[in-house]
Amino acid sequence: MEKISTVTGVAVPLRRSNVDTDQIIPAVFLKRVTKTGFDDALFHAWRQDPEFILNDPAYQGARVLIAGPDFGTGSSREHAVWALRDYGFDVVISSRFGDIFRGNSGKQGLLAAQVAYEDVERIWEVVEAEPGIPVTVDLVERTVSVGTLTVPFDIDDYTRWRLLEGLDDIGLTLRDEESIAEFESHREAWRPKTLPIREPAESGSL
């Protein structure tokens, strides 16, 4: 995972709320078994419409997506993050994110910056007045700047640190391998195990 500290690039104002993961990437694309090559799938249904903002030449090569509230709700599909990443987005700005989506983002190097709704409105206005104007998202300072406007964003400290350091999750956890083994040594006999395979008791309901 690459380190992120600041991102500067074209920003797309997506004036829609409640953009669920089915809209970000429809289920039909979940059939792939690789982690890349999802850029064409992003907002697939909406992109059929030539008027859809992502089809506007002014916003080509965008790195920042500025969405309405409740972005990334719905299904847990991580493909939503891959699709955004593959398309070229490094940052999504919204006043509220779906929990799972936000978690997935941090792990894939996509910065989910939570910005107060009034500030999102202000950023939209600036960007719409001058499409293609560069927007800078500074993870160190936790700010979004465009033109003369600078607003703060929220991100939890841990995710921020991870993004800044470009740290892989599993490696981090495996540093605690001893604690895990310790915990497992106390796991009660009655807790469920999938193996060996057992058959239901005669008297069982099934």
Partner 1 sequence: MNAAPPNGVNTSEARPRTLAEKVWAAHLVKKGEDGTPDLIYIDLHLVHEVTSPQAFDGLRVAGRPVRRPDLTIATEDHNTPTLAIDRPIADPTSRTQIETLRRNAKEFGIRLHSLGDVEQGIVHVVGPQLGLTQPGITVVCGDSHTSTHGAFGAMAFGIGTSEVEHVLATQTLPLKPFKTMAINVEGTLRPGVTAKDIILAVIAKIGTGGGQGYVLEYRGSAIRALSMDGRMTICNMSIEAGARAGMVAPDATTYAYLKGRAHAPAGADWDDAIAYWETLATDEGAEFDAEVFIDADALEPFVTWGTNPGQGVSLSDAVPDPASIADQHERAAAERALEYMDLAPGTPLKDIHVDAVFMGSCTNSRIEDLRAFASVIKGKRKADGVRVMVVPGSARVRLEAEAEGLDKVIEAFGAEWRFAGCSMCLGMNPDQLAPGERCASTSNRNFEGRQGKGGRTHLVSPLVAAATAIRGTLSSPWDLENDGEVR
Q: To the nearest whole angstrom, how small is the minimum distance from the Cβ of residue 35 to partner 1?
A: 5
Q: To the nearest whole angstrom, how small is the minimum distance from the Cβ of residue 60 to partner 1?
A: 26
**What does the alpha-carbon distance between residue 74 and residue 80 come to, in Å, rounded to a whole number?**
11
What's the DSSP call for residue 68? -
Q: To the nearest whole angstrom, how small is the minimum distance from the Cβ of residue 8 to partner 1?
A: 27
Listed in sequence order, the residues at least 6 apart from 116 whose beta carbon sits closer than 8 Å to its beta carbon are: 95, 151
Which one, 154 or 176, has the nearer CB to partner 1? Answer: 176
Peptide linkage before 152 cis (omega within 30 of 0): no
Which one, 3 or 32, has the nearer CB to partner 1? Answer: 32
Which one, 17 or 136, has the nearer CB to partner 1? Answer: 17
Return the axis-axis angle of helices 157-165 and 99-107, rounded to nearest 10°: 30
Which residues are near partner 1 by CB under 8 A?
A: 17-18, 20, 22-23, 26-28, 30-35, 45, 68-70, 73-79, 81, 96, 98-100, 103-104, 107-108, 156-158, 169-170, 172-174, 176, 179-180, 183-184, 186-195, 197-206
Instruction: Give the three-state DSSP class for 100.
Output: helix
Q: To the nearest whole angstrom, how small is the minimum distance from the Cβ of residue 27 to partner 1?
A: 5
What's the DSSP call for residue 70? S
Q: To the nearest whole angstrom, how small is the minimum distance from the Cβ of residue 124 to partner 1?
A: 14
Q: To the nearest whole angstrom, how small is the minimum distance from the Cβ of residue 179 to partner 1?
A: 5
Which one, 28 or 129, has the nearer CB to partner 1? Answer: 28
Buried b (16+ CB within 10 A) or exposed e, 17-53: eebebebbbeeebbeeeeeeebeebbbbebeeeeeeb
Which one, 150 or 173, has the nearer CB to partner 1? Answer: 173
Which one, 44 or 126, has the nearer CB to partner 1? Answer: 44
Task: Burial-class residue 206 by CB neighbours within 10 Å (0-12, 13-18, 19+).
Answer: exposed
